[in-house]
Amino acid sequence: MTSSTELTGTAVLTRLILRRERIRILIWTIAVPLLVLLTATSVKGLYPTQHDLDVAAEASEDNAAAIAFNGPAQGLDTLGGEVAFQVGTLGLVMVALMSTFMTGRQTRAEEEAGRAELIRSLPVGRHANATATLLVVAGMNAVVGALVTLGLIGLDLPVTGSVVFGLSFCALGLVFAAITSLIAQVSENTRVVHGSAGAVLGAAFVLRAVGDIGDGTVSWFSPIGWVQKTRPFAGERLWPLLLVVAGAVAAVAATHALSDRRDLGAGLVPPRPGRPRAAPALGRPLGLALRLQRGSLIAWSCGVFLAGVAYGWVAVDVEDFVADNEAMEDLITGYGGADLTEAYLSQSLLVSHCSAPGTPSSRPSGCTARRAGCGPSRCSPPPSPAAAGWPVT
């Protein structure tokens, strides 16, 4: 089969994805830039003078927890450098999650639901769906990068630094879209694909954190570290983006190669067979919910634990961090507490609480999946989560 035949129908599938996912695309492409711009506006208000920036830079440069959580301390005596430090890593993680969820939804989830098999019965090439998905996700990342760039320029930040900062968002999103498409060839379960891609993102974050605390060598093994090596607002350089492009191209090439070596709907690694008889706990709603959600529960528990370690690390030096900055001190003390440290921990607890998803209640029911599947089905209204004994956040 020629390469042109393998891509037959890519344009049609691209339009189909854009039509089906227009709401999700709109939400993601607005939410990520909005997060960056709101943070940038807040930073601009918190550090109105050069003295405020110098004090914040001095406190952050000696704080290993802040560097591990936010990224390398580059150009912190400038407004642009402080913005990149405060929101850079969080924004990059958000854009990586956007690419991961959208790619997994349009590749492995389509095969798992059986819709990809119906589409492949038409004159559609083997690689058309994966290529169309990557094109859509690439467009989403381009829009996010452009909005971030234009928003920062609108806040009077340097044009060059704003462009490089926006490019770093776009580049990281592309590489994680390619990584997710590659993982989708290995497993035949969408949750495993998302979990594995999330594990790669977590490993990239940890490698970047370890490298930034040290001499920076380990950061070169992380895609997040690659894009942060572009040094926005601190002596910009574009050549590290070549590593991102090379990684994305290699992942896409591997995706196409593995796609030729597996059956539609199957993964290269078959699932393990289950036990002959189910455990007694699976006969109850709570036991079934815990079994289905154990991966998410473990992952979120580990994430919250690591966030708590980082917050506690910062809390030790929070008084030095906000010294001579009344605006920052007033912001933190507004969350209550007997002193500044307790107020900071209250704020951190609020952020962690807002980040915890109601995973059981957010999962689509089987009825919803059948409606989105291959034909009409009769569905009964599901019982309420409380009546079924499911935990709800």
- Residue 149: pLDDT over 90: yes
What are the sequence ranges of the domains in the chain?
1-270, 282-362
Cα distance between residue 373 and residue 115, in whole Å: 6
Whole-angstrom distance, CA of residue 283 vs CA of residue 296: 21
Q: What is the pLDDT of residues 108-126, one digit of tens each?
A: 888 888 888 788 888 888 8
Residues 6+ away with beta carbon under 8 Å from 231: 74, 75, 164, 237
**pTM for this model (two decimals):** 0.79
| Sequence-separated (6 or more) residues with CB below 8 Å from residue 117 | 111, 264, 265
Q: What are the tens digits of pLDDT across the range 257-272?
A: 888 888 776 777 777 7
Q: Is residue 18 predicted with pLDDT exceeding 60?
A: yes
Q: What is the pLDDT of residue 390?
A: 42
With contact defined as beta carbons under 8 Å apart, do 166 and 146 qualify? yes
pLDDT at 329: 66
pLDDT score recorded for residue 198: 87
Residue 393 has pLDDT above 50, yes or no: no
pLDDT band for 3, please (50, 70, 90 cuts): low
pLDDT on residue 28: 93
Tell me if 37 sits within 8 A of 152, measured CB to CB. yes
Q: What's the rounded Cα separation, in Å, for the pair 334 and 198?
A: 34
Q: Which band of pLDDT confidence, cut at 50, 70 and 90, is reported for residue 352?
A: low
Banded model confidence at residue 336, pLDDT cuts 50, 70, 90: low
Size of the chain in residues: 393
- Cα 320 to Cα 65: distance, rounded to the nearest angstrom: 14
pLDDT 10s digits, 31-90: 999 988 998 888 888 888 888 888 878 877 777 777 888 888 888 888 888 888 888 888
Q: What is the pLDDT of residue 267?
A: 72
What torsion do the CA atoms of 45, 47, 50, 51 make, to the nearest 10 degrees? Answer: 140
